[in-house]
Structure formats: structure tokens, C-alpha cells
Homo-oligomer: A and B are copies of this chain.
């Protein structure tokens, strides 16, 4: 694990936070990082819904079966995608673009002294429907994923899940399969 890539190894799912707030400057940097991600044909179909209010964080956590800890986080973000703005109005590109933006934000968090966790929304219809209702989200805007953010209660250890079985060399691969 090359130390030059420490920013990669340090991204771990953080679900417990201290009571310390996330500053407006940190939030701004997180959003700038998210929007530095590539998107298909630079369509940038993403939209970011910022959750600061305790009641709103609780309401969103109730829409996400594995997201109970969001209720106690100082900051939440719901990443959505606008299907009308996605390249070719393709759901695949929308998902790819929103995932790249989400990953950028998750990697930025530790570099800013923060921790974060990705909360799945798409393709779970019950989660999408609940969030649509809560925020009156129009049909063209697709709730993609949630992110809980705060100061980590504990420092997780850096890691990769590198697995050599998932690496194949061409053209040998074609001959084997």
C-alpha cells in the first residue's frame, strides 16, 4: 500500500461521530470535491440535498433501513440525479456519474478531518418513494444515495480489499474463459 495513496486507504465507512459540528467551509469543500468528479459528456446530472436540521436528519434516517446513525450525524447529504440532464437521458450514466461524485466526497472527508458513510438508496423503490414524499422530489430527479458525515468517534485503520483473483491479463483471459 503505497503511502502516496494514503488518501485512498484512509477512506473507511464511519458510522459514529462526535458531537462536533461540520463547518460551512468543510461542507463547501466536500461539495467542490464531489463536483470535481468526471461525468459522462460533462453533463453533471447530480444534485445535492444538504441535511443539517436534526428533525430532517431523523426523518431521512427513517427512510433508510441501514441509516439509523444518520439521525445522530451533524451533516447528511442526499445525492440525486436528474435523468433529463444525464447523457442520453440514460439511467446507467446517471448512476455512474452520481457514484463518482459520491466517491470523491467520501475520499475528501478524511483529508478534511471528517468521516463519512455511503447509504444506499437506488434501486430500492421503498426508499426512493419515501424520500420523494418527504421532500416532494419531482419524477425527473432520482434519489441516488445518502452520505452521513461528521467528526469520527474513532480513527479507522487504512486498508484495501485487493484481491488478485479479480485481475486478468489480456489476451490470456480470452483463451482461458
Contact = CB atoms under 8 A, between A and B. Distances in A.
B168 A50 contact: yes
Interface residues of A, number: 73
B8 A36 contact: yes
A64 to B, nearest CB: 13
A50 B169 contact: yes
B135 A31 contact: no
Give the copy number: 2
A77 to B, nearest CB: 9
Contact of A44 (B2, B37, B166, B169): B166
Which residue, A136, A167, A170, has most C-beta atoms of chain B within 10 A? A170
A29 to B, nearest CB: 5
Interface string A46-83: 11111111011000100000000000000000100000
A166 B112 contact: no
A106 B38 contact: yes
A149 interface: no
A13 B38 contact: yes
A145 B48 contact: no
Interface of A: 1-2, 4-5, 7-9, 11, 13, 29, 31-33, 35-38, 40, 42, 44, 46-53, 55-56, 60, 78, 90, 92-93, 95-100, 102-104, 106-108, 111-112, 118, 120, 122-123, 134-138, 145, 159-163, 166-171, 173-174, 177
Q: Which 8 A-B pairs have the closest CB atoms?
A: A99-B99, A92-B123, A36-B160, A96-B99, A100-B103, A135-B174, A103-B103, A32-B162
